[in-house]
Amino acid sequence: MTFVRVKFPPVLRAATNGARDVEASGRTIREALDDAAARIPGLKLHLFDEAGRVRQHILCIHNESVVRGPEMTQHRIEPGDEIILANAFAGG
Amino acid sequence: MGVAVIVGTKKGAAVLTSNTRENWSAVFVLKGWHVTASTRDEGGRYYAAINNDVFGTAIMVSDDLKGWRQLENAPRYQPGEKGNPEHIRIQASSDFMGKYKDAPRLVDQIWTLHAAHGAIYAGVSEAGVFVSRDRGQSWGGIDGFNNQPGREEWPPGFGGLCAHTILTDAKSPDRIWVGVSSVGFFRSDDGGRSWALKNDGVNQTLGSSCVHRVTHDPNNADVMYRQDHRGMYMTTNGGDSWSVIETGLPVGDLSDGHRCSFGFPIVMDKRTQSVFAVPLEGDNFRMPPNGKLAVYRTRDGGGRWEALSNGLPDGAFVTVLRGAMSTDELDPGGVYFGTSSGAVYASPDLGGHWSEIARGLPRISSVEAYAT
């Protein structure tokens, strides 16, 4: 099983009891998010909508690429990878 | 006896506490989350509804107003339920990534939390009502309300299609009232299985009724006061019929020329049955007339309203939202409200004089006061 680290944005720490990240397993980003939500149950509400889809304003940064929405189901990950869970943002 | 006031804002909640109602302490919690409503159950547990445009809706709980933890579950519709198309269209207007295209029925905000009869009720948008009977561990929809015939054609208000007001009868758990913008005020007499609209006597437009907020004493539940988009009303029969009660209130023109009072919140001090509202200048402007911020009170069942502005500012071009006012039920009764510019005003004497007890907060959505 592939273990990766999923990192949370600051606003989500209200749901993670302050945790900044969690180790999760999976072969794709979507599987890793499912596992993270199983390890921290409060996360499920925030990652997935009623239809079970990853909320569409969420993006993941993996190996310096941005992965969104349905792409997460196919996007493969490797042991030791880091997945940065982020919301859409802008500078200025 | 002290007071705690949970002030919900766009970016977190200020918890204001005082033993005297003169000197106040403040802590800011739930940073980054829109805190849209709060309540306290019979066991003394506090609940706060939170929302984030990206990460959705959840409920936080606290037993001491210091530590908060998120509940694992929250009100949610079932996968595959069809949403109200007009509500989805309104939500999609800010949808830069296409979230709401072909959207199912989603809970995008909790507008009110209400504790009664050992349960916690939640009113949400897209308009619906949910209930938890295990202190928030699990939630179920009130299907009789949520699946009413015709709800797919309900007209949303400016902020979407939201169930923002829930009231109950202390003497009869079967009686429940729900206010929905912009559909009207519903009542169930059978524990939520069936519902009837209760808008008779309320001025309507385009066939719909936009209730803004309703208050009552749960121990005298059938006497209710209603701040509507189209004026101020009361009923003595649980909503079967409504009468205009605007003597002493400022009135102005709505966008279609109808002249009436306008505002959002309305609350009651149950001990004296005094009722408080914050009139604004019509639906085009939504600010105090001439910027003179004033709370209006009736002590005679709506016979006459009087302005209470001792300590409130002039030049206050602000809005007070429907959930941003509360009473503390102490003797004498305290009244509290928060503004769109982040100020909180409090009166320890039923509106006799006011003082600013917080300022500089983000836009305030909800204010709930609790005797501690």
Nearest Cβ partner for A50 among B69, B79, B98? B79
Structural domains of chain B sorted by starting position, each given as residue range(s) with its CATH number in brackets: 35-197 (2.130.10.10)
User: At A60, which CATH number?
Assistant: 3.10.20.30
The sheet carrying B243-244 orders its strands as B211-216, B224-228, B231-235, B243-244
One-letter amino acid at B219 equals: N
Chain A closest-CA separation from residue B72 CA (Å):
5
User: Given this model, what pLDDT does residue B208 score?
Assistant: 81
User: Given this model, what pLDDT does residue B90 score?
Assistant: 80
How do residues B231-250 score in pLDDT, each as one tens digit?
999 999 999 999 999 999 99
Q: Residue B192 and residue B189: Cα distance in Å, rounded? A: 7
Q: How far from each other are the two terminal CA atoms of chain B, in whole angstroms?
A: 6
Residue A80 has pLDDT above 80, yes or no: yes
Question: Which carries the bigger pLDDT value, residue B304 or residue A58?
Answer: B304
Q: Residue B26 and residue B357: Cα distance in Å, rounded? A: 9
In a domain, A64, yes or no: yes
Tracing tokens 């909800």 back to the chain, one arrives at B366
How do residues B243-286 score in pLDDT, each as one tens digit?
999 999 999 999 899 999 999 999 999 999 999 999 999 999 99
* Residue numbers of the domain that contains A61: 3-87
In a domain, A34, yes or no: yes
In a domain, A92, yes or no: no
Residue-level pLDDT, tens digit, chain B, 372 residues: 899 999 999 999 999 999 999 999 999 999 999 999 999 999 999 999 999 988 999 999 999 999 999 999 999 999 888 888 888 888 776 565 565 666 789 999 999 999 999 999 999 999 999 999 999 999 999 999 999 999 999 999 888 899 999 999 999 999 999 999 999 999 999 999 999 999 999 999 877 889 999 999 999 999 999 999 999 999 999 999 999 999 999 999 998 999 999 999 999 999 999 999 999 999 999 999 999 999 999 999 999 999 999 999 999 999 999 999 999 999 999 999 999 999 999 999 999 999 999 999 999 999 999 999
Helices then strands, each counted (H, E), chain B: 3, 30
**B53 to A57: CB separation less than 8 angstroms, yes or no:** yes
How do residues B122-146 score in pLDDT, each as one tens digit?
999 999 999 999 999 999 999 999 9
**A11 to B33: CB separation less than 8 angstroms, yes or no:** yes
**B54 to A41: CB separation less than 8 angstroms, yes or no:** no
Chain B closest-CA separation from residue A33 CA (Å):
14
How do residues B310-330 score in pLDDT, each as one tens digit?
999 999 999 999 999 999 999
In a domain, A62, yes or no: yes
Residues of A in contact with B31 (CB under 8 A): 11, 14
**To the nearest whole percent, how much of chain A has pLDDT over 70?**
92
**A50 to B106: CB separation less than 8 angstroms, yes or no:** yes
User: Given this model, what pLDDT does residue B88 score?
Assistant: 83
Report the residue of chain A nearest B96, measured CA to CA: A57
Q: Does the complex come out with an ipTM higher than 0.95?
A: no
Residue A91 has pLDDT above 80, yes or no: no
Question: Which ranges of chain B does DSSP label H, i.e. alpha helix?
Answer: 85-92, 143-146, 282-285
Question: Which carries the bigger pLDDT value, residue A34 or residue B86?
Answer: A34
Tracing tokens 């008779």 back to the chain, one arrives at B200
Paired sense of beta strands B243-244 and B231-235, if any: antiparallel
Total domains in chain A come to 1
CB B264 within 8 A of CB B282: no
- Tokens representing residue B79 in the block: 């996968």
User: Given this model, what pLDDT does residue A87 score?
Assistant: 79
User: Given this model, what pLDDT does residue B123 score?
Assistant: 98
